[in-house]
Structures are given as C-alpha cells and as structure tokens.
Amino acid sequence: MSVAAEDTLAAAGRPVATQAAGRAVRWFQRLLPASLTARMALAFGGVAAAVLVAVGTYLACALAAQLEERDENELVSEVLLVRHLLAEVSSEAEVRAGMHRFTDIAMGHEGLILLVRSREGEPLVTLNPRQEQVPPLRVLPVDTAPERSLLQQWHPRNGVPSAGIAALGRLGETDRAVEIVVLRDAGYRSVLMKDYQLHILWATLSGALAAAALGYLLARRGLRSLRRMAGEASAITTSRLATRLDAGRAPTELRDLAGAFNDMLARLQDSFSRLSSFSADLAHDFRTPISNLIGQTQVTLAHARTVEEYEALLESNLEEYERLSRMIENMLFLARADHAQVAMQLRTLDARAELDKVAEYFDAVAAERDVGIRVEGAALVRADQTLLRRAVTNLLDNALRYAPQGSTVTLSAETLAGDAVLRVTNGGAGIPAEALPHVFGRFYRADPARSNSAASTGLGLAIVDSIMRLHGGSACAGSAAGRTVLELRFPSRSRSGGPRGRQRQDQPS
C-alpha cells in the first residue's frame, strides 16, 4: 500500500472534530507572519488585549453590581423617608397640600417613580415623569420594615429588568394608612453601562495597539544580538572555519545557542581538516601503486621482452592491483561504518577462544618473522564475531610488523568494571607520545617517511576504531619503555549506549 493511501485511511479513521481542529491549526499557522519580531509583537498585543479585556470585564461587572446595590438601597431609603413624612401629617388632605415635600425627596434620583395613594386607590402624590405603567405589587404591612430582599421585579417599557417596592405608611397618630409605591427604572443604568463598555473597548484596542508597537520595538531591539550573530554566521566560509561567534556579547538566552554553534564550527573545522588530510593521503597512497604500475609497464614496453619478463611484470602488477583492491575495500567499509550501515550479529562470545583462533591464523607469519604469540586471560564479550576477529587481526598484524625479532606479542582478555577488555602488546621502538592520539586516524603513520607504505594501507587501525564505535566501545593506544599496548574495550550491555550498526537476529554462540 502506498504512503498516500495509508495517510488517507489514517485520516478517515480519525474523528471529524480532530480533523477540523488540525485544519484550523494549519490555517492559523499560515496566517502567522514569517518574522519572529512580528510574531512577538502580535503576542505582546494579544496578551495585552486579553489582560485589558479581563480587567475591563471585571470592572464593568463590579460597577454594575455597585449601581444595582445603590439603587436597591435607595428604594428602601425612599420608603422609610416617605413613612417618616407621613408620620408628620394626620390626613390625606395634608398629604396633598404638602405634595412638594414628597416630590422633593425624589429629586436627583434618575428613573425614580414615587406614588402615594389612598387605600381606595386615589392618588395623593404622583411622580412618574415618563408615565410608566405601574405594575401591581405585593404591599408590605405598616409594621414591616422594608429590606432589599423584599424588593420585587418589574419591567418598564424599555424592557430592562428593574426593581420596586410597595408598603403601607400610617398617617400621624391615626389608624389610617396610605399605600407607598417606589419604583426605579434601571434603563439609565443600562445606558450608563453601555457607554462604559464602549470606553473600555476603545481603551482595550488602544492599549493592545500600543503594546504591539512597543513589543515590536522591544523585540527588534532584543533580537539585535540574534541578527548580529546571523551576520557573523553568514560570513563564515570554508576558508574561514576558524571564525567563532562572540558568545560573550550575546544575552544569556543566546549564549547556549552561540556555544552550540561554535562547537559545531569546531567539529566542522576538524572534520574539514581531516577530510583535506584524508584526501591528500588518499591521493598519495593511490599514486604510489599507480605510479609503480605505469613505470613498470613503460619500462617493459620500451623494448622487446621475453615471456618470462612479461609474466614477471604481470605478477608485479597483480600485487599492486591487489593492494589497490584492499585499499578500496577498506575505504568502503569505513564509509559504511560512518553511516552505521554495517549489519551486525551481536552475541556473547568467549574472548579467549576468539584470540586463540586469530593467534593460530598468524602462527606461520609470526614464525617467519621470528616472533612469538602468547594468549592469556579470559572474558566474555558481546560483539559481532566477524568484526571482532577483524579488529583483533588488524591489531595483531600491526604488532607483528613492528615487533623486534625474538620478542613475543601478547594477546590478553579480562573483565574490568563489567566491560570486556582485549589487549595486544608488543615490544619495539614504541610510538611517540605526540603520535598516540592519531594512531587510529585514517592513513596515519607514525613514520613520516612512510618507509613501510607498500606493506600497509594506513587504514587498519582506522577500521579497528570504526568497529569499536559500531559496538559502542572504544579503542586506545599506549606506549612507554619500549612496550606498546593497543586496547579494545567492549562495554557491558547495561552500560552500552547501543551499537550504531544495523543488528541482525541474535544467535547463540
């Protein structure tokens, strides 16, 4: 099944809401500006708008609640005040005569409606500027004190829910009582709140725009170091890999980035230098056998030769071809190892048995060079058998090449801190201290004159290093007092970060 078909089936299996949310997110991402400064300015503006809206909403709600509470308290106070004025008169006629006293108490109270009427419904005092229809209300007895909880709701013509109260008031010391109706049209409060909300809206928009503008300026100023670093980075070329970003002038948040970039440049510079050296060494090592082939062939073809001479030329050329073939094979192995494309078959091996097999293979070569081979120690190692033998073979071949006649090369195995450690030790002139860090480099030889170039490709120890990195282990060299030790350390399974190569199915040894 193709990838597109799988994606279609996967999308069909997802809920519709999830797909819609994903499309909304992608649409929103396309709307975002490409500039980080602009994004930060929008973020500043959005945050400021959200904060201002939240604060404005809270203030509006608080103001509405305070206005409502004030209106309700005024309704209760109006009833008490009218009752007090009624206590100073003794008849309904006096109420009519002193009507101005009752209307004066309603002055300055917008939307207030005051009615005083007899028990028979005859109006005594009427203050209703907008001629609102007074609804029937439940009337409180004379002895019941008015409270906010006793307020009743009514709706004027504007439809805004309002409050009102009706209560009886006694005339002087008599037993007669009149009905008091006090209503408050909350429409004015609605108009006031709409006006207040409009002001809040404009203040929010102005504040968000001001925050976005200031955010843009601050972000642009704050990202100035990043632009400077980008300028410095753009000036770096292959001929200026030694240039580094100035992390000391960068803000704290960018120092880690500058440090990581400088570390990357250091690695690139080192890799580029090694690549340049590798290319030079590669050209040198390929040139030698090719020059031999050309020179021998030209000399032979300059004059007529016998069959035996032509056969000798072909045999010599064959040796050079085989050497070139080994070099190419080793380089291909290193290239695959660098990209972790070497298939590995990890299993637990007896290190002593593997060392014995390699030593047995080199018995004839060692005897020809008058060098002995001794195997000692024991350990269990988890590794690919073929790669393990190749690594030890390269080490032993290197040791036999430099070991003096009559000496002994020692292969040893032991377990240290759970790791399997294999060593190849030989005598001889040793390796200079300044050359030790480079012995596992490609085409590196401690002999500057390359006197043994024909016998070695300079890739043997580099292959050993690659094999150890594939296993998550390490290779190191030490040399002192005429004794050279090359060590391979295979990590235990618990400490290993995992092999880098592709693994095949594990099989018992």
Q: What is the pLDDT of residue 507?
A: 40
Indicate the pairing of strand 139-140 with strand 162-170.
parallel
Residue 458 is predicted with a pLDDT of 64
CB 85 within 8 A of CB 102: yes
| Orientation of helix 307-338 relative to helix 252-302, angle to 10° | 170
Q: Are the C-beta atoms of residues 114 and 78 closer than 8 Å to each other?
A: yes
Could you give the C-alpha distances from 60 to 35, 45, 57, 159, in angstroms and in order?
37, 22, 5, 21
Q: Are 340 and 369 in contact (CB under 8 A)?
A: no
CB of 390 closer than 8 Å to CB of 361: no
pLDDT at 62: 92
Spans of the chain below 70 pLDDT? 1-17, 21-22, 24-34, 249-250, 274, 277-278, 281-282, 284-285, 330-331, 333-343, 442-458, 493-509
Q: Is 73 exposed, middle or buried (0-12, 13-18, 19+ CB in 10 A)?
A: exposed
Residues 112 and 186: beta-carbon distance below 8 Å: no
DSSP string, 424-486: EEEESS---GGGGGGTTSTT--S-TT-TTTTT--S-HHHHHHHHHHHTT-EEEEEEETTEEEE
Q: Whole-prediction pTM value? A: 0.49
Q: How high is the pLDDT of residue 352?
A: 93
pLDDT at position 452 is 45
- Chosen CATH of 341-503 out of 3.90.25.10, 3.30.565.10, 3.40.50.1100, 3.40.50.880: 3.30.565.10
The SS3 of residue 125 is strand
* Token duo for residue 257: 């980035």
CB atoms within 10 A of CB 227: 11
Closest CA to 473 of 499, 444, 440, 443: 499
Q: Which residue has the tokens 């390929």?
A: 286
Residue 174 confidence (pLDDT) = 85
Query: Any idea where the domains of the chain sit in the sequence?
Result: 74-187, 248-332, 341-503
Q: How far, in Å, CA of 314 to CA of 241, rounded? A: 47
- What pLDDT does residue 125 have? 87
Written in H, E and C, the secondary structure of 144-208 is CCCCHHHCEEECCCCCCCEEEEEEEEECCCCCCEEEEEEEECCHHHHHHHHHHHHHHHHHHHHHH
How far apart CA 481 and CA 436 sit, in angstroms, is 14
**CB atoms closer than 10 angstroms to residue 34:** 6
Rg (the chain; Cα; Å): 49
Helix (H, G, I), strand (E, B) or coil at 269: helix
